[in-house]
Amino acid sequence: MGFAKDLSVSISRDLRHCEPRYFPGNIKMETEIQSPDNAHKRSRADFEDGNAIPAMPNSDSVQNDGRLWSGTAFNRTKKKRRKLPYEKLYISALPTSPRYSKSLMHKDQLSFVTVTPFTDFLITSSVDGVVKFWKKVAVGIESVKEFRAHVGEIKSVSVSQDGRSFATAGADKTIKIFDVITFDLLAILQLDFTPRSICWVHRRGASLPLLAVSNEADHIINIYDGRGESQTSIHRITSLHKSSVRTIAYNNGYDCAISADDNGMIEYWSPGGNYEKPDNLFKYKSSTDLFEFKKAKSLPTSITISPSGTQFATFSFPDRKVRVFDFATGKLYRTYDESLSTVTDMQQAGTALQKLEDVEFGRRLAVERELENPAFQNKINIIFDESGNFIIYGSLLGSKVINTLTNRVVKVYGKDESFRPLNLAIYQGQPQKKGVVTVSMAASANPLLQEAEERDPMLVSTGSGKVRFYIFTNETDISKSSRDVQNEKPRNLNSRQQVEAKPAESGTAAILHTTYGDIHIRLFPEAAPKAVENFVTHSKNGYYNNTIFHRVIRKFMIQCGDPLGDGTGGESIWGTEFADEFSALKHDKAYTVSMANAGPNTNGSQFFITTERTPWLDRKHTIFGRAVQGLDVVHRIENARVYKEKPEEDIKIVSIDVA
């Protein structure tokens, strides 16, 4: 009996020193174990606050009702939840509206958005090589200048620490250097290689601006004179990396750059002197967590330094994890799991921040899978707020704002919007701030002065595959009909869709993989080219994946193609309804595939397959295909139990293959 009592006390002591810790990016729980020596040290404040750890119970209380601790005593041993001082003040400096108040356009898909520090400019760039300068004014932004900077894609952009210089690197093997204040093109660097990542690597106020440029084909980092006075690099870093450098960031506080390569290796280096790691950082790399990516077989796609320079954050593929490191020690501080498996598990378990309808979740998951395309990966970034206590990044549920001290999601922007946020930038300044405020001015009740001192925070986001960038502000009176400004005439929506149109027009067959089996369809691009293009492009993009057959009428037809699942949703690949295409084809036999509509020329994404002859539909619905195999599957769906024409159990399109 004595031995049993001692064992119970020993176990109870161990239990006292374990505390569960939850992470907002995933559903995993880690257990942090304190050392017994530290656990039993109690300060005077513990007793004064009434939160002292209770004394060890005697043997009688240990054996009481078979438990080691009574519920009350165990609960009192839990630590206080961490609190960030002035957290509400920091949050109030962020935009208040969860929905975007305005969106503006480029003619092609947006690649990057950049807010310049100290100079209050927003600079946007798109995949067609266009760069636009926008000036932050009292409320909102104003367009000031546009450049056709590159022929082809912009690979990387960077703004200097003082906000006065901006550079772009293009697939056309050129670098363009802009003066932000005058929004003018200063210099053009002609390269003999294709640049991959660029970064200004000089301190604020430096007499010689330095621009680091990595090579897409090799491991070398080239350092250029940022004034553009020489076409040749002033230094080449050849021994630091062994493979192509994916991303570079600069820490102004430590005068140190950090870079990551295709092997998952992270390196620190000083832009001056011998281009080696500064002495005021960690001594041995083996004492850091910088090998984390190598161990995880994952590659960082972005590195962002906190405003104070004490931390940096990364996003990586294919593990889709957000990591926050301590800069000086290289130690891992936080990890947030945004992998598809974790997101799916949380959705199914109901533990996600927002429970989505299955169809909507399937649509968003299809967009997430598209991000595995390398063309998207360098567009994804993480940003810090001005205090450095919060990180912001795009996710399936919108743009998350996480307090890294308390490990809590404090805000989500755009959770009900239709776009998937990729590249983010934030402005938290005071656009009308006076240079000098006298005592009399501060003491006055002048409303104009008070208005001038007000902040106008602004979160700017691109969207996956979107030609718009979206602005979140403090504005709460938002009109959905007027918030999307038509400031550009899209170039057939975007040049990428023009490229995709060629294989879409040549599609002649499709296989609908449903939860009831496969349906093979022959397409008629000659009779209905726009309808076939719309169907094939949506199919290739995963638009129909996990949508349901929402309307089934026996001896008539089965209807599908609505992401909302109720017959009211769906749009064409052009974003607007398109015209009917009537031909010699008729609804004179079963298994005809036609566009659903709400009247003449109102085609979107919905379509139906007939199960009988339906001649009354001729010249009312566009015929673009016929089912030729899997006809038994069509009839199984047709004969499913329904309630008000909707199957009682969801019958889904899993995916569609096009040939």
Determine the Cα–Cα distance for residues 174 and 282; give it in Å rounded to an integer: 36
Confidence of residue 659 (pLDDT cuts 50, 70, 90): confident
CA distances in angstroms from 223 to 80, 155, 170, 188, listed in the order given: 49, 17, 17, 15
Q: What is the pLDDT of the chain when averaged over all its residues?
A: 85
In-domain check, residue 443: no
Q: What is the mean pLDDT of residues 530-535?
A: 94
CATH classification at residue 646? 2.40.100.10
For tokens 């995949």, what's the residue?
Answer: 127
pLDDT confidence of residue 359 = 86
pLDDT confidence of residue 502 = 43
In-domain check, residue 537: yes
In-domain check, residue 378: no
In-domain check, residue 444: no
Closest by CA to 359, choosing from 370, 371, 347, 349, is: 347
pLDDT at 23 over 80: no
In-domain check, residue 208: no
pLDDT confidence of residue 218 = 95
In-domain check, residue 90: no
pLDDT at 264 over 90: yes
Between 25 and 534, whose confidence is greater?
534
pLDDT confidence of residue 583 = 92
Confidence of residue 138 (pLDDT cuts 50, 70, 90): confident
pLDDT confidence of residue 157 = 98
Q: What is the pLDDT of residues 353-411, one digit of tens each?
A: 898 998 899 999 999 999 988 889 999 999 999 999 999 999 999 999 999 999 999 99
Determine the Cα–Cα distance for residues 253 and 272; give it in Å rounded to an integer: 14
CA dihedral 76, 80, 81, 85 (to 10 degrees): 160
Between 261 and 77, whose confidence is greater?
261
In-domain check, residue 629: yes
Q: What residues have CB less than 8 Å from 75, skipping those under 6 apart?
A: none
pLDDT at 231 over 50: yes
From 41, 76, 111, the end of a domain falls on: 76
pLDDT at 245 over 80: yes
pLDDT confidence of residue 480 = 78
Known catalytic residues are 551, 556, 559, 597, 608, 617, 621
| Cα angle 525-528-532, degrees, rounded to a multiple of 5 | 60
CA distances in angstroms from 465 to 127, 363, 365, 370, 419, listed in the order given: 10, 14, 15, 10, 9
Q: What is the pLDDT of residues 218-228, one digit of tens each?
A: 999 999 999 98
- DSSP strand E in 473-549: where? 509-514, 517-523, 547-548
In-domain check, residue 621: yes
Task: Measure CA of the first residue to CA of the last residue in the chain; give whole Å.
Answer: 76
Q: What is the pLDDT of residues 319-331, one digit of tens each?
A: 999 999 999 999 9
Determine the Cα–Cα distance for residues 461 and 113; give it in Å rounded to an integer: 7
Between 8 and 277, whose confidence is greater?
277
From 76, 100, 133, the end of a domain falls on: 76
Query: 563 is in which domain, residue-wise?
Result: 495-658
Q: What is the pLDDT of residues 420-458, one digit of tens each?
A: 999 999 999 877 654 544 444 454 555 544 544 578 999
Q: What is the mean pLDDT of residues 13-29?
A: 40
Determine the Cα–Cα distance for residues 316 and 100; give it in Å rounded to an integer: 27
Taking the whole predicted model, whether its pTM rises above 0.75 is answered as no
* Domains identified in the chain, total number: 2
pLDDT at 25 over 60: no
From 16, 43, 76, the end of a domain falls on: 76
Confidence of residue 491 (pLDDT cuts 50, 70, 90): low
